[in-house]
């Protein structure tokens, strides 16, 4: 069996962007095969599936995501990433595992190894799924559309976890909606170009975009009930090439987070209404264009299935190491698997920060930060144990 610490460092050192996880998939397939798993690669693009059969009993699915982010790592670790890659837009970008998916994948390998070693203690079938493109919100859907459950069987439950900057060794759990639905849209606003010295001869899409950005902030403040949760973020505004040239177009990148389908519809509709209204108010020569993408549903941890799994966690880790988890506005597409199969999903967070090694008051990097990297231990051991304990709670 490959040393898990070395596997983690290798994956961390060699991150790959969403839909480009070819090396990662190959490494994971290679370490799964000696465990006795039937391994299939290329599922949903770059996904890897391992099936470990061990007699009669339920089929239980464990899932880990494997893609990295276009982030320049600044951890200073000896195994830090220096990788650069070409993204989908043809741009050269830095790449790093700034969300901990390398830890997720390593934990899943470790769990598969432990369950393979202890086959006398359980029965059934283990479905090990390494999912690509979680950061784009399409990886789970791609695997389902590639026949994941038709080809490998429908599980009784989908189990998954995420590392976070909680204290290492701790498990945070929740029941019901845990993570937000996410929707992104690229908006193109059309103006009429001209000379900066003669704005009256042009229609300025930069001014149009600026008014739109400000007006969008009123959606949550004035159109969503205070008892509901929603976030509207403008993360990108691009226009023009020179300060004295009024450009033809401006582009806005907008992201929405919601927890309710009705609220989700209100926010999406309000975004389009406001964009169109500002274009009309500015005298735009063309209607704006909307390109909606990266839609991810609300992640719901099934209450009954979660209670069963958390009971096993309490017995193994002790109740003092369990934390009721807060609902977070970040998103995860793992729920697509459970919804597609018609089975419950159970999701939890495990801590990745060893506070005993940090100076008092030293800031802790969050996921997606250039400084984010979990402490290898006891994070890795906790993540492996959590997956094993959760799987055994459902296997025969």
Mean pLDDT of the chain: 96
pLDDT digit string, tens, across residues 309-330:
999 999 999 999 999 987 899 9
User: What confidence score (pLDDT) does residue 359 get?
Assistant: 79
Q: Is the predicted pLDDT of residue 302 greater than 70, yes or no?
A: yes
pLDDT digit string, tens, across residues 246-297:
999 999 999 999 999 999 999 999 999 999 999 999 999 999 999 998 789 9
By 3-state DSSP, what share of the chain in percent is helix, strand and coil, each rounded to 5? 35, 30, 35
Handedness of CA 364, 367, 368, 373 (dihedral sign): positive
Domain, as residue range, for 201: 181-295
Query: Last residue of some domain: 280, 295, 310?
Result: 295
State mean pLDDT over 236-255: 97
| DSSP collapsed to 3 states, 61-80 | EEEEECCEECCCCCCCCCCC
State mean pLDDT over 360-364: 83
Q: Does residue 104 contact residue 163 with C-beta atoms inside 8 Å?
A: yes
Same domain? 262 vs 163:
no
State mean pLDDT over 60-74: 98
Alpha-carbon gap, residue 7 to 28, rounded angstroms: 9
Same domain? 276 vs 349:
no
Banded pLDDT at 343 (limits 50, 70, 90) = very high
State mean pLDDT over 220-234: 96
Same domain? 121 vs 150:
yes
Banded pLDDT at 358 (limits 50, 70, 90) = confident
Same domain? 156 vs 196:
no
User: What confidence score (pLDDT) does residue 327 get?
Assistant: 87
Query: Last residue of some domain: 237, 263, 295?
Result: 295
Q: Is the predicted pLDDT of residue 1 greater than 60, yes or no?
A: no
State mean pLDDT over 13-39: 98
Among 46, 17, 21, smallest CA distance to 142 is for: 46
Same domain? 374 vs 228:
no
Banded pLDDT at 150 (limits 50, 70, 90) = very high
Query: Last residue of some domain: 295, 314, 335?
Result: 295
What are the angstrom distances between the C-alpha of 101 and each of 25, 107, 356? 13, 10, 24
Q: Does residue 104 contact residue 375 with C-beta atoms inside 8 Å?
A: no
pLDDT digit string, tens, across residues 172-201:
999 999 999 999 999 999 999 999 999 999
Q: Is the predicted pLDDT of residue 2 greater than 70, yes or no?
A: no
State mean pLDDT over 211-236: 97
User: What confidence score (pLDDT) does residue 62 get?
Assistant: 98
pLDDT exceeding 70 applies to what percent of the chain? 99
User: What confidence score (pLDDT) does residue 183 get?
Assistant: 95
Same domain? 188 vs 221:
yes
């Amino acid at each position: 069996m490959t040393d898990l610490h070395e596997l983690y460092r290798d994956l961390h050192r060699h991150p790959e962007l969403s839909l480009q996880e070819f090396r990662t998939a190959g490494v994971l397939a290679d370490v799964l095969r000696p465990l006795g798993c039937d391994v299939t690669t290329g599922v949903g693009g770059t996904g890897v599936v391992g099936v470990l059969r061990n007699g009669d009993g339920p089929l239980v699915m464990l899932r880990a995501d494997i893609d990295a982010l276009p982030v320049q790592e600044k951890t200073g670790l000896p195994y830090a990433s220096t990788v650069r890659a070409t993204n989908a837009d043809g741009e050269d970008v830095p790449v790093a595992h700034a969300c901990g998916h390398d830890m997720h994948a390593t934990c899943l390998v470790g769990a598969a190894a432990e369950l393979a070693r202890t086959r006398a203690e359980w029965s059934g079938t283990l479905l090990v799924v390494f999912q690509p493109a979680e950061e784009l919100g399409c990886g789970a859907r791609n695997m389902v559309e590639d026949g994941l459950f038709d080809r490998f069987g429908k599980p009784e439950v989908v189990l998954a976890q995420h590392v976070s900057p909680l204290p290492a060794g701790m498990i945070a759990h929740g029941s019901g909606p845990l993570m937000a639905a996410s929707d992104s849209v690229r908006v193109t606003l059309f103006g009429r170009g001209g000379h900066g010295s003669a704005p009256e001869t042009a229609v300025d899409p930069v001014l149009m975009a600026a008014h739109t950005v400000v007006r969008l902030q009123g959606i949550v403040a004035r159109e969503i009930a205070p008892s509901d949760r929603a976030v509207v973020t403008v993360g990108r505004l691009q226009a023009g090439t020179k300060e004295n040239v009024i450009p033809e177009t401006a582009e806005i990148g907008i992201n929405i987070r919601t927890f309710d389908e009705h609220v989700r519809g209100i926010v999406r509709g309000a975004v389009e209404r406001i964009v169109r209204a500002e274009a009309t108010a500015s005298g735009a020569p063309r209607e704006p264009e909307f390109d909606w993408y990266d839609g991810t549903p609300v992640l719901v941890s099934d209450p009954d299935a979660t209670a069963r799994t958390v009971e096993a966690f309490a017995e193994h880790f002790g109740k003092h190491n369990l934390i009721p988890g807060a609902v977070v506005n970040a998103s995860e597409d793992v729920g697509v698997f459970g919804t597609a199969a018609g089975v419950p999903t159970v999701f939890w967070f495990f801590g990745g920060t060893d506070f005993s090694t940090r100076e008092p008051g030293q800031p802790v990097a969050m996921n997606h930060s250039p400084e984010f990297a979990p402490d290898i231990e006891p994070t890795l051991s906790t993540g492996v144990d959590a997956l094993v304990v959760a799987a055994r709670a459902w296997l025969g």
